[in-house]
Every structure is written in C-alpha cells, then in structure tokens.
Structure 1
C-alpha cells in the first residue's frame, strides 16, 4: 500500500491556565501531521515555461548584441557599436514588457504588439545583414531566427499566464480603470493649480505692497485707502475665522459683487467657501445696509 505524503504543521490555541487561583488564557502549541496537498504539476509546467522564455530572451539579447555589434564596429568605435547593438533586441523586449503590463487592456496592448513585431523584424534583418556581409548568409539566417524563437517563446509564456476577460467584464474593468486614472491624473493637476494660485497670490501681495509704499510718501494721503483694506494690520488667524466673519470683513472693505465676495472669503479662510453660506450672510448685510 502506497504511503500518503504528510507534512508537519504547528497549531496554536488559547487555553485557560490557573496559577495560585488566578486564571489566564495562554497559547498552547501542538505539532501535528496532516496530509500534504498533491503536487501542482500545472504550476510547475507554467514556471518551467516562464524560465525557458527568460533564457531564450537572454540568449537572443546576447547573440544579437554580439552580431550587430561586430557589424557596426566596422564603421565606429567598438564600445559605441556594441552599446548601440543592445537597442535592437531591447526594443522588442521592452514592447513585450509593455504588452504584459497591458494584458488586461487589449485595445492599448495592440500598439505594443505592432511595435514589437516591427522592432523584431528590424533586429532580425540586422543580424542577417551581418552574416550576408561576411558571405555567411546561412549563419545570418540562423542567427536571425534566434530572435524570432525568443519572441515566440515569450509570446507562448504570456499566453500561459493570460486571463482572458469576457466582453462585459472587460467594459467594467475599463470604466473602473478610467475612473481611477482620472483621480490619479488630478493629483498633478491640483498641484499645478495650487502652485499657480500661490504665484498669483504672491504677485497680488507684491502689487499691494508696492502701492502702499508709494502712497506713504505723501503725508496727505496717509488716511486714504485707495488700494483696499489696510494690509499693515495683524494678519487674520484662519483657524478661528468663520465664514460669517469673513463675509463681514469683505463687506466692510467695500466688496459688493457676489463673485468677488466669495473669492475674498475663500482667500481669507484659506479654503473654498460655500456659496450658499456666503449668500446667506451677504443677504443679511444687504438688508441692514
């Protein structure tokens, strides 16, 4: 009779333990033998296919670099020639990486597939040209097929790992991805707007400061306030400032237009003000005016 494989595991549980009449829950550890799960041959084969594809891609990259590098070295510096030769296979390898990342978005992955095929064709053509120039066209053909086999091996590996989605699920994924991508896109946009708003406010403060310094040279104008409220007073504490107080300050500064009031209140509060709340307090001042 065949003995079934087992594996040793440790189980822990809380059990009551009493010392001197005091009971506490402590961990009780127990080592037991349980049947081992059957070997997952599918996963082993999938892993072997992936490793094989990586080996093929690595061999192709080395061969193509050596072949095209030797071809280019005839007209340029050897180091530069071999560095440039890496780009031939690296191009379609990069396209395959992009195709892998976009495996759940077939529409966007098609561009990477087309670019990868063109890059592979260019790479194979360059390898064949190397053999043809040295009158070894058979070696050139065989060497060019190395890249083709590597590309085919990696394509098969991607098919093994692929998880095709039905049409409705694909649409659901596309909509959710679009929503998340929109939120991610708004992060740098908000930062850009905040930087722009900070520059605008700094420019406005600079203009007000320049206007105040020019007006102060005339003693007769010291009591007037052409440029708006006096900016020499103690700055308002935004943490304790309420919307009602901000509307009152704007009203006292002579601001009457609703849009200007909302903008001024938002500036004083340091955050966007609620238009409805501003309208309510603004109507109170209009009635008492």
Structure 2
C-alpha cells in the first residue's frame, strides 16, 4: 500500500521554571494513499473533450452560417446572429444538465435542443448548397450533430434519475420552497400597494386641508367648545348643507371653537372649505345671533 507523509500538530505541555503551558508540537505521520480513481479521470477527460468539441462546433457553425447571412446584411450582425444557432441548443443542454436528477423536467430542454440542432444543421447545409459545395455543407452540418451526440452521451452518464418515491419527496420539498419564495414577492407587492394607498390618502387629505380620515375619527375626544357624545344635541352628519347652514347648525348645538366648526363644515358641507371663509361665516353668524 502506498503512503504519503504529512505534518500534523498537537498540544503538549511544556514547563519552564515550574510553569507549564500547552504549546504546539509538530510531528509527521504516514497515511495511506487511496488508489487512483481511473473512472473519474476518464469521465473528466471525456467531459473536457466534449467541451472542446462544443467550442470547435460553435466556431465552425458561426463561420459557416455567418458567411451565409453576410450575403444579406452587414458582417457584425450576420456573425452575431450565426452564433445564436449553436448557443441555443448548447443552452438547452445546460438546462438539461441542471435537471439531471429529474427526468420529467429534463425532457423539455432535451426536445428543444434537438429542434435547435436541426435548424442549425439545416443552416450549415444551406450554406454549402448556396456556395456550390453541398458535400462540405453536409460534413459541416455533421459537426454540429456529432457535438450534440457527444454531449448527450456525457449528460446521460452524469444523470442520476431518482426512483418514483424519492422524486415525489423532492417535488414536495421543491413546491414548499417555491411557495415560500413566491410569498416573498407577494408580500413585497402587497406592501407596495398599501404604501401607495396610504400615499394617496395623505395626498387627498393634504389637498382638502384636513387630516387623513381614520376609523378612530368618530371616537375623538371632545375639544373645548364641543359637546361630548350623549351630553348635548346630536350634530346632523348628513347633507346636503351649505357652509352657512353648517356653521349655524354647529352654533346651535353649542360648538363654538373655530377649529371644531371648521371640521364640522368640512364633514357635512364642503370638504375643501377654506378656513378663512368658515371663520368669516362664523363671525357673521355670531353677529346676526
């Protein structure tokens, strides 16, 4: 068995002048070396080869399809569009890799990848046919087919499908996590909507010159000059009323404070009543009384 020497440390007591301290002591030990994992090395090498093939395929297809599209548009746009053909099926394969533990989820990107591959191969073949080199076009199209086939084999080797019960358990956990994630966005949306409603109410209240109406407004503590609830004439709260009628009604009910009269006028007569107008009407009503 092969071994390798490594250095480790440990705490040991060390005494000087009768005082003991724990210090680090370095020592070496021989540990067995595990056998080389040839399966992992081979799989890594195959994956690297598949990546190299994909890069070569993108270069070939982009050059071929770019030359085809260059006949109808400017060169940068032509080659940018040409790169899309192979990047689409490669992206689908990446999604298939992410879903390698879920056969059902991996099915859609796999089918979409085959469709994108067929379109890319057709475009490469069309370039060869237009250039009067149909045989080269077929060989070039085969490059994309071989790259896709290689990656399909590699992905199948990496894929680890789950049994039915384990897959159901995973789906349940994924659904719960997805629900929690969705509620984050929903709560954010509701908070934003409530903030907009509050801002709208504040803006309307500021425009009318009063405080925002709340359910507690009907239970306000009576101020000086107002009659507490149940101790005096009930103030009529239904309209329509003119400003003068509202002022006279407030005075007849014993409401004499200008602020209280102003609130009553805005409540039953005109929500946008100006304070100067109400005070002027209040002075006239007092003089006429």
2:116 is aligned, of 94, 110, 119, to 119
Give the match's secondary structure for 1:9: strand
Contact preservation (8 Å) 1:105, 1:174: no
Deviation, structure 1 residue 208: 3.1
* SS of the residue 2:260 aligns to: coil
Answer yes or no: is the 8 Å Cα contact 2:61–2:83 preserved in 1. yes
Residue in 2 aligned with 1:234?
Answer: none
Which residue is equivalent to 1:13?
10
Aligned to 2:148: 151
Q: Which residue of 1 aligns with 2:271?
A: none
SS of equivalent to 1:13 = strand
Distance 1:152 1:182 in 2: 37
**RMSD of aligned residue pairs (Cα, Å):** 2.2
Residue of structure 2 equivalent to 1:208: 205
Equivalenced residue count is: 223
Residue 35 of structure 1 deviates from its aligned partner by 2.2
Q: Paired residue for 2:260?
A: 223
Select between 28-37 and 68-77 the one with higher mean Cα deviation: 28-37
TM-score (norm 2): 0.72
Q: Which residue of 2 aligns with 1:199?
A: 196
Q: Structure 2: 5+ residue runs without aligned partners?
A: 212-242, 248-255, 268-289
TM-score when normalising by structure 1: 0.72
1:161 deviates by 1.6
**1:2-41 correspondence runs (5 A):** 4-41=1-38
Residue aligning to 1:59: 56
Is the 8 Å Cα contact of residues 10 and 26 (structure 2) preserved in structure 1? yes
Q: CA deviation at 1:17?
A: 2.1
**What is the SS of the residue equivalent to 1:80?**
helix
Q: What is residue 160 of structure 2 aligned with on the other side?
A: 163
In structure 1, how many angstroms separate the alpha carbons of the residues matched to 2:209 and 2:257? 14
Q: Deviations over 1:117-158 (max 9, x none)?
A: 100000000001111112211111111010111111111111
Instruction: Confirm or deny: 8 A CA contact 1:8 1:34 kept in the other structure.
Output: yes
1:173 aligns with 2:170: yes
Alpha-carbon distance in structure 2 between the residues aligned to 1:164 and 1:45: 22
Structure showing greater radius of gyration is: 2
Gaps of 5+ in 1: 229-289
Query: Is 2:102 the partner of 1:105?
Result: yes
Q: Secondary structure at the match of 1:222?
A: helix
Taking the aligned partners of 1:20 and 1:203, their CA distance within structure 2 comes to 80
The 5-angstrom pairing of residues 51-90 of structure 1 reads 51-90=48-87
Q: Per-residue CA shift, 1:77-117, capped at 9, x if unaligned?
A: 11111111001001101111111112223222211111111
Q: Which secondary structure does the structure 2 equivalent of 1:159 belong to?
A: helix
CA distance in 2, matches of 1:29, 1:186: 54
Provide the secondary structure at the position in 2 that maps to 1:129.
helix
- What is the CA distance between 1:34 and its match in structure 2? 2.0
Partner of 1:134: 131
**Residues in 2 aligned to 1:162 and 1:178: alpha-carbon distance in whole angstroms:** 22
